[in-house]
Structure 1
Amino acid sequence: MAKRPANPPRAAKTSQFDQKPPLSRPMVHAAFAGLAVLLVLVYYGSLILKSSPPQAPDTVASDAISKMSVLWRDQHNGEMPLWTPAVFSGMPSYGAMIYTHENPISFVLGKATFGNFGIAMALYTLIGGACVYVLLMRYGRSPLASFFAAAVYMFTPYIPGLINAGHNNKILAAAIIPALLLVTDGLLRERSLKAFGWFVLVAAWQLWVRHPQVTYYGIMLVACIVLADVFVQQGALLARARRLAEDVVLLGAGLVFALGIVADPYLPMLEFTPESVRGGAPSAASELAVEAGQASDRGWEFATQWSMHPKELVSFVVPSFYGLWNDPRYNPQTDIEAHTYWGYMPFTQSTHYLGLIPLILALLVRPNRTALIWGCLVFSAIALLIGLGHWFPVLYWPAYKLLPYFAKFRVPSMIYMLLPLSVGIVGAWALDQMMERETVAGRVRAARRFVREEKIALAASVAMVVLALAVTVLHRSPGWVLKAGEENYPAQIQEALAQVRSALLARDVLIALVLAALTAGGLFLVSGRRMSGTIFAAILTAATIADLWRLDFTFLDIRRPTFAEAPIQQPAEVDIIRNDLHAPIPDSVRLWQHIAAGDTLFRIAPVAGLDQAGAMNIESTNEYGLWSLPSVSGYHAAKLRIYDDLTISGGLSRRQVLNMLNARYVIASPGLPDSTLVPIGGGEKTVYRNTTALPRAWWVRSVRSVNDRKTALSSILAPDFDPAEEAIALGTAPKISPDSTLVPPRVSLWDFHRIEIETNNPQPAFLVLSEIYYPRGWHATADGKPVEIVQTNFVLRGLEVPGGTKKIVLTFDSAAYRWGRRLSFTLFPLFLLLVAEETWRARRKKKGSSTG
């Protein structure tokens, strides 16, 4: 019998990726690619068959607000409309990104997906997942771990929630961020002209999908990775600092060129932003509120809407702890299952749950000296705190005040949509560490015992047990799952809400217990060398996908009314208004031509109801834009600052304000107690003709000068203000004669970009136009001579018109739009040629070296 060696030789630790797989590596990649395609096709199968996006609230609102722009462009030989009268009595449409040119990359992908919404979502999801996979393979991760991270990001439940809400641009922006990480990594590794070109093109694509906030968060993730590289590098501090400076210059130059490529539409947006609620202009409404003892920082309130309460962080472990979603389209007293969310935000249509298993794996990871993993860890920690918004001002307030452009965003919790990417990458590292193995005496086994990891996993399981016990105790008191305000519902409704929410919570707590036990139990088996790390990793990957899918299909349920195929029906009030005009007008195109010719100028004021004082509450809806009815109200996240101030100060509830906004028609419930509102027809809603509405242009007999916007706003809100007789001018008031004879002006054209008015007064007079004041792009002339446009009545325009017969012309032209088009048309083809040329050179060089 041979003598056994005293100390058998031990092999060095290796990762599974370093071991030669039973199949060649291309076959492994092909297998995972095929699996990803199969899963994504199943995932989006119902949407692919349906082909069109769901009729989500924001989708309908976007279509409605852009419909008039589409019609106008068709009537003007493809000229792009830069202004829209559809909402808020008029506003810039291109600068607000209401209706813009389609970028060339999206145009090509749209053709490639045959215009099918489901195929497009599947394609973008696969692009994001493929880039995560390639990035991790580049860092030496195993194919299985790389696929795990890709799956976590592809199937995060937040995305189906966004589809259901109609926030499709967020989805596209999030899908491209992994590509941005990939080309950033390539640029910092290669430092070549080809890599620089690819970085510029992908960064431009990222910006072109038109969701700056998601793009901003993606750049934050890139910055965390680049800064982490300084600390994980070895060598002198000066050398590392020099490397950081070079990286910043490279990336900064790339972003500058990318911004040049996307100058269309971003230059017009930057022109518009200072005048919008996202700009830095002070809020006159907030100043009035402070004076009235109602302190309010409108900018801070806007920026921190939808901050995640710290208590709601438990939903990363138990997704329904505060419910999953609530849909404002459904009555919470009748459609109980559409109102399961009971947290601290006004409402939510999705969950930020990213899977309990990836979260536990991220806690188990042993970071090595790699910038990617440390950058993801740092970003995850920062993002977790930023998402708390006003609940954690220690971080959010400095970021709001100091970081460029940060104050222009709202919904702080949106940053959580990148946690599946950063946490998934960290989890992939932990998964690979569990698959490490060694060969001892010809036997393959786990490389070591995971003592630390065992303790963490056991602690997580105990925490789940404690949480389950706490929920069981709290379940005895149904009131704890009610949202603020729901205590006023009838008792049976409160009980029904509590039952639905408690059942959902109990289910998810049980699932969390099972997942924690699965992770901890499997880890003990691997650590005890009773299970292969590869099998354990495969089980965790499958369990993670199943865990995410059970929530995903809650939001992707095509049986929900959101996914209804039926077209939106034209309200009866549309025909009533058309028939009340000088001549019946059968369709939207002819209606707008009629309006533009100056024959019948009007706006509508949709009323949601009356307040306790009997004043009208104007409804924020874009619906009537589908039928070319210009409205004094609307819904858009980036409205003009002055109009937002008018709205939040209650201006639209003042009759004199509605009169000066040319609100000729009021749409409300039957029985409004006002003799000057004459009902002309209706059904469920009645159309009233406002007999005191002012025309689009009129003379006033007196002009009062004020020095600031706050005074101008308070002046028009005063009960004794009569816009038919007096105008409030911001700045120096023109001198006019109150006794002069005033001949009513004649409007000959009132189009998107051009207004023409004919006047014939013996003496100079002041003309008020019921068109929203916007100082960037509008110009006025009287018989060809420039005339100053004065901010009048806080939101309108005024002109001092010389005496005599005059032709007044106002035109809108955006230099930012023109220069943006030129830059985009020049730079994008140049970088396409650069990348093509450098790629061809690289392949030719590689071919030459291989044959030599």
Structure 2
Amino acid sequence: MAKIKGNRNILAVTGIILFFIITAFLYFSPQLEGKKLDAGDTAHYLGMAKEVNDFRAETGEEALWTNSMFGGMPAYLISVKHGGELLARVQTFYNTLLPRPAGYLVLYCLFFFVLTLLLGVNPFAGAAGALMYGFATFFFVLMGAGHMTKVHTLTYMALVVAGVLMAYRNQPVAGSLVTAIGLSWMLSANHPQMTYYAGIMVVLIGISYLVAAVREKTLPAFLKASGLLLIALVLAVGTNFGRLYTTYEYGKDSIRGASELTTDEDNQTAGLDKNYILDYSYDWGEAMTAFIPRFKGGGMSEPLGEKSEVYRFFEKNQGKAAAKQVTAALPMYWGSQPISSAPFYYGAVLCFLFVLGLFVVKGTDKWWIAAVVVVSFLLSLGKNAAWLSNFMIDYFPGYNKFRDVKNIIVIQHFSMALLGVLAIREIYLQRLDKAILLKKLKHAWFILGGLALLFVVFPGLAGDFTGPTDARLAQAGWPEQLLGALRDDRRMVLRTDAFKALIFISLAAGLIWLYVKQKLKASYALALWVALIFADMWPVNKKYLNDDNFTSKSKAEAPYKASAADQEILKDTDPDYRVLNLTVSLFQDASTSYFHKSLGGYHGAKMERYQELFDHQLFPEVRTLIGGFQKPEAIDSVMRSLSVVNMLNTKYIIYDPNRAPLQNHHALGHAWFVDEVKLVEDANEEIAALAGFDAAEEALVDQRFSEMLKDMQFGGAGESQIELLEYRPNYLKYKARAKNTSLAVFSEIYYPKGWKAYIDGQETDHLRANYVLRALPVPAGEHEIEFRFEPASYFTGNKISLASSLLLILALALVGYSTYKKKAVHEKEVSGKA
């Protein structure tokens, strides 16, 4: 009988997994036609990584550095493969088997389903809960935007939590191994911020179980489990050590590290600036979008139908055609964030089950879940709960490295979904008296249903429906009457969604009531439950990620088309020069990097000094250049004055994509000798001295490098020469002829944690000049100069990753073998007794 029951469970689980796969591909049906997601950040990635990916395809090697954006930067957070990460290869195989985004949706549901099974939830109830979790709008918004590393990282959160709970619930060895595997995959997915938030949740779980252990006098078991989990953490970190070490090392020099400039000290941290960290914060009302999706209007561009007030306004004044055009994309969002593409909706059903869970679930899990919900909510408020945010930024290690703090709601959503499933478990197991259960059900319905009804009747409680975009609309010519119609529509969508929430809550409560009253079988109740989840979530998600978000494979893999200006520049056979594209946002563009080595780029962790160079000198020079176009006859003299633009070897300027670019004849080239060195005291003095200096004649050098200049002989730079012989992203070779022992300045970004300089094959120290560039003392005579990017952090880290991966695989094999042997012995004993 036990064997038959086991076989049935295997069939049930297999069927459920197949249902997840079918559901995912039904939602993302264009994938079945060979189409791919046309997402903005995916296109940005292809632009950022073009040089690195091309180099890998041509040579089979990792470049580790790219010159395609921001003058040059490490490629660790762009596209680098770490050969020592053996477990990560499972992800590569899975992505081939079930390509994204459908594959990611399957993982969300699958690992949450595994978690529910470990917590003793009926498989079919767990499957319903997994769908409820996996269909959160937040995940679909991320996928639609192309935030795939964030999406990928979050798929493993349930697996990590499953392992931790197993360890604390009498399976310390198995739980620790599950944690190690889940965390290893999570880290290799490469979004440290999401992993960090999951870590906050795990800490709260640990605290809750510590309190329980003290109360129940089981502290030794808790300490044993915690010790094994600590080993699991070390192993998971070890399997990704190359990735983590290089990221950590580079982080100190990126905008997420401390600045050497001492301006605006109140806003400075050892990571990002506080204003930047807290720019995207929830307000108290915006958290309601988890329950009522358009509580704050929805996204920045929401479609409305013919019943909207804005439609009626335009129909009356300009006709139906104009009304349809305008209402196809209205600026409905009126929250306090700078922008919001869509609400992060958890589902009315999920929120109702969470509230019910607070009444019917007991034990340690309930308390850590409640703690996660409260802590994540307060932290998501960011600048609107500055007392807590500033404390975290100032004193919590690593918290100052991340922005967009509202993203911490990912652990809030996860915890609420889990408590909801645990509530279903309690109802299914019938451990509560029916009368008490129905009373608690009524309380949950009154609380959440009453809240929904309140906003149906009194939508003005949410605010005045005036958003930050309204002032811009008024400046654009929208009359007050039209703005009033827009506010009425915002009020209308709030009432509509609140009423829908009331309906879904009532239906969910009704299903539970029917089941408890034995008027509905469990199987029918669960089937209706799944239908209710789809009816709640599917239409909302389809608004923000649908078939229109897909495009042909060829277009998705080559998202940028070369303009006439690009094509003209690409005729240049010089392997190393930069392009300034004035037709795009300099620091929010990856299209230029797709074809050229760009002065700008697109990345959230650009080098700190380059960002500062842009803010203080480069941006003013770009404005001067744009102003110069007003007097075309003077443009050559304007370009001559752009010292920073020229020292970065900016050879071409795109001012019109349909016309030939402007060639800058004042670009200083790959390298040059200078006649003078000016020593500066610190970063403040150095960046200020860049204004108006002559980069061709002098170099600005921090006094900390003064010892390297003591044998310099200045003068005669015009009689010295240096030329580039060979270029690769991670290797440059020059031929130099110096009249005296002179200082050569290279139009390459200085980064000493990997770049090594060689003169005639002998390694020699190089220094930083002009705030961001490399410089090298060159002895008199003819020499071969090489720069090689050979970061020890990558090569050493990969060895540690390989060793840790083998150790974890060995541990898995030993535990698996031990489990198999115990099972075989047990079956033999049972057979003998029979």
Q: Which residue of 1 aligns with 2:48?
A: 65
- Equivalent residue for 2:723? 746
* 1:697 to partner: Cα distance: 0.9
In structure 1, what residue type is equivalent to 2:55? W
How is 1:747-762 mapped onto 2 (pairs within 5 angstroms)?
A: 747-762=724-739
Please state which structure has a larger fraction of its residues in helix: 2
- Cα deviation code 1:332-386 (max 9, x no counterpart): 9979527543322222334321112221222222365533332222112111111
Partner SS state of residue 771, structure 1: strand
Between 143-152 and 270-279, report the one with greater CA deviation: 143-152
What is the CA–CA distance in structure 1 between the aligned matches of 2:781 and 2:804, rounded to whole Å?
Answer: 50
Q: Which amino acid aligns with 2:129?
A: A
Matches within 5 A, 1:515-534: 515-519=504-508
The alignment's TM-score, normalised by the length of structure 1, stands at 0.82
Separation of aligned partners in 1, 2:80 and 2:453? 52
1:631 corresponding residue in structure 2: 598
Q: Does 2:133 align with 1:166? A: no
Question: How many residues matched?
Answer: 771
Q: 2:399 aligns with which of 389, 397, 406?
A: 406
Offset of residue 425 of structure 1: 1.1
For 1:766, what is the secondary structure of its paired residue?
strand
Does residue 150 (structure 1) correspond to residue 137 (structure 2)? The answer is: no
What is the aligned partner in structure 2 of residue 675 from structure 1?
Answer: none
CA shift digits 1:588-632 (9 cap, x unpaired)? xxx5xx51xxxxx420011148xxxxxxx73531112322x1011
Matched, 1:509 2:498: yes
Residue type matched to 1:607 in 2?
L
**Given the alignment, which residue of 610, 616, 620 partners 2:588?**
620
In the alignment, what sits opposite 2:645?
Answer: 658
- Does the CA contact (< 8 Å) of 2:393 and 2:399 recur in 1? yes
Q: In the alignment, is the contact (CA less than 8 A) between 2:673 and 2:744 conserved in 1?
A: yes
SS in 2 for 1:749: strand
Q: Which moved more, 1:150-159 or 1:644-653?
A: 644-653
Is the contact made by 1:91 and 1:772 (CA closer than 8 Å) also made in structure 2? yes
Contact 1:762 / 1:803 at 8 angstroms: preserved in 2? yes
Q: Is the 1:789–1:798 contact (alpha carbons within 8 Å) kept by the matching residues of 2?
A: yes
Per mean C-alpha deviation after superposition, the further-off stretch among 333-342 and 427-436 is 333-342
**2:702 is the counterpart of 1:730:** yes
Residue 142 of structure 1: CA displacement? 3.4
**1:98 paired to 2:86:** no
Query: What aligned pairs does 1:472-621 form with structure 2 within 5 A after superposition?
Result: 479=466, 482-483=469-470, 485-491=472-478, 501=490, 504-519=493-508, 539-560=528-549, 566=555, 567=558, 568-579=560-571, 581=572, 594-595=574-575, 601-608=576-583, 618=586, 620-621=588-589
The aligned counterpart of 1:460 is 448
- Residues 333 and 248 of structure 1, relative CA distance in 2, 3 Å threshold: farther
- Contact 2:39–2:549 under 8 Å retained in 1: no
Kept in 2, the 8 Å contact 1:288–1:714? The answer is: no
Q: Secondary structure at 2:749's aligned position in 1?
A: coil
Find the residue that maps to 2:149 and give its secondary structure: helix
Task: Say yes or no: does 1:182 pair with 2:162.
Answer: yes
Structure 1 residues 766-781: aligned runs within 5 Å: 766-781=743-758
Residue 247 of structure 1 corresponds to: 225
Shift of 1:81: 0.5
For 2:109 and 2:613, locate their aligned partners in 1 and report how far apart those are by CA, in whole Å.
45
Q: Which residue does 1:45 correspond to in 2?
A: 29
Q: 1:397 is aligned with what amino acid? A: N
CA distance in 2, matches of 1:559, 1:503: 27
The question of 1:347 aligning with 2:325 is answered: no
What is the deviation of 1:710? Answer: 1.8
Residue pair 1:326, 1:338 contacting (<8 A) in 2 also: yes
- Are 1:359 and 1:423, in contact at CA under 8 Å, matched by a contact in 2? yes
Q: Which amino acid aligns with 2:155?
A: A
Q: Quote the offset at 1:155 in angstroms.
A: 0.8
Superposition deviation, residue 636 in structure 1? 0.6
The correspondence for 2:459, drawn from 462, 471, 478, is 471
- 3-state DSSP class of the match of 2:582? strand
* 1:389 match: 382
Deviations 1:746-795 (A, max 9, x none): 22233322222333233222211111111211122333444432221111
Give the equivalent residue in structure 1 for 2:288: 314
Q: CA RMSD, aligned part only? A: 3.5
TM-aligned CA deviation for residue 666 of structure 1: 0.9
Matching residue of 2:275: 301
- Paired residues of 2:470 and 2:483 also in contact (CA < 8 A): no
Partner SS state of residue 62, structure 1: helix
- Conserved? CA contact 2:331–2:469, under 8 Å: no
Give the direction of change, closer, same or farther, for the CA distance of 1:562–1:507 in structure 2 (3 Å limit).
farther
Who is 2:625 aligned against? none
> Residues 49 and 78 of structure 2 are in contact (CA less than 8 Å); yes or no, is this contact kept in structure 1?
no
Q: Distance in 2 between matches of 1:215 and 1:327?
A: 30
Give the whole-Å Cα distance in 2 for the aligned partners of 1:572 and 1:346: 35
Q: Is the 8 A contact 1:173 1:206 kept in 2?
A: yes
1:709-757 CA distances to partner (integer Å, 9 max, x unpaired)? 12211211x2x32212221101244354554353232222333222223
Q: What is the rounded CA distance, in whole Å, between the counterparts of 2:645 and 2:172 in structure 1? A: 61
Give the structure 2 partner of residue 424 of structure 1: 417
Segments of 5+ residues of structure 2 without an aligned counterpart are 303-323, 622-641, 830-834
Distance 2:15 2:435 in 1: 27
Cα contact 2:165–2:175 (8 A) shared by 1: no
Counterpart in the other structure of 1:376: 369
Paired position in structure 1 for 2:317: none
Q: How many Å apart are 1:569 and its aligned residue?
A: 2.0
Change in 2 beyond 3 A, CA 1:288/1:403 = closer
Q: Residues of 1 paired with 2:349 and 2:678: CA distance?
A: 67
Residue 813 and residue 288 in structure 1: after superposition, are their counterparts in 2 closer, same or farther (change >3 A)?
Answer: same
Answer yes or no: is the 8 Å Cα contact 2:168–2:209 preserved in 1.
Answer: no
Q: Secondary structure at the match of 2:436?
A: coil
- SS of equivalent to 1:559: helix
* 1:407 maps to amino acid: N
Could you say which residue in structure 1 is the equivalent of 2:781? Answer: 804
Displacement of 1:47 in angstroms is 3.1
**What is the rounded CA distance, in whole Å, between the counterparts of 1:429 and 1:99 in structure 2?**
41
Q: Distance in 1 between matches of 2:579 and 2:717?
A: 31
Post-superposition offset of 1:832: 1.9
SS of equivalent to 1:631: coil
User: Sequence identity of aligned pairs in percent?
Assistant: 22
Measured against aligned partners, the alpha-carbon deviations of 1:458-479 in whole angstroms (never above 9, x if no partner) come to 233232222123337999x875
Letter of the 1:62 partner, please give it. Y
- The 1:827–1:524 alpha-carbon spacing in structure 2 relative to 1, beyond 3 Å, is closer
Bigger shift: 332-341 or 779-788? 332-341
Contact 1:435 1:537 in 2 (8 A): no
**CA–CA separation in structure 2 for the residues paired with 1:847 and 1:32:** 28
Task: Tell whether the 8 Å contact from 2:283 to 2:384 is kept in structure 1 after alignment.
Answer: yes
AA partner of residue 390 (structure 1): K
**CA offset digits 1:165-207 (Å, max 9, x no partner):** 1111222211111111222333344556555444323321121
**Amino acid in the other structure paired with 2:282:** M
SS at match of 1:418: helix
Q: Indicate if the aligned counterparts of 2:674 and 2:743 stay in contact, CA closer than 8 A.
A: yes
TM-score scaled by length of structure 2: 0.84
Residues 842 and 289 (structure 1), Cα distance of their counterparts in 2 relative to 1, 3 Å cut: closer
Letter in 2 for 1:395: L
**8 Å Cα contact 2:680/2:702 also seen in 1:** yes
Q: Which amino acid aligns with 1:705?
A: L
How far apart are residue 277 of structure 1 and its match?
1.4
Q: Deviations over 1:286-319 (max 9, x none)?
A: x3456xxx96665223332322222211212211
Which blocks of at least 5 consecutive residues in structure 1 are unaligned? 1-19, 440-444, 582-590, 596-600, 610-616, 670-681
Aligned to 2:678: 704
Q: Tell me the secondary structure at the aligned position of residue 285 of structure 2.
A: helix
Is 1:817 matched with 2:790?
no
Give how far 1:547 is off: 0.9
Offset of 1:426 from its aligned partner?
0.7
Q: Per-residue CA shift, 1:421-468, capped at 9, x if unaligned?
A: 2101111222344456489xxxxx935353344234223323222212
Contact 1:152-1:420 at 8 Å conserved across structures: no
Which stretch has the larger CA shift, 641-650 or 419-428?
641-650
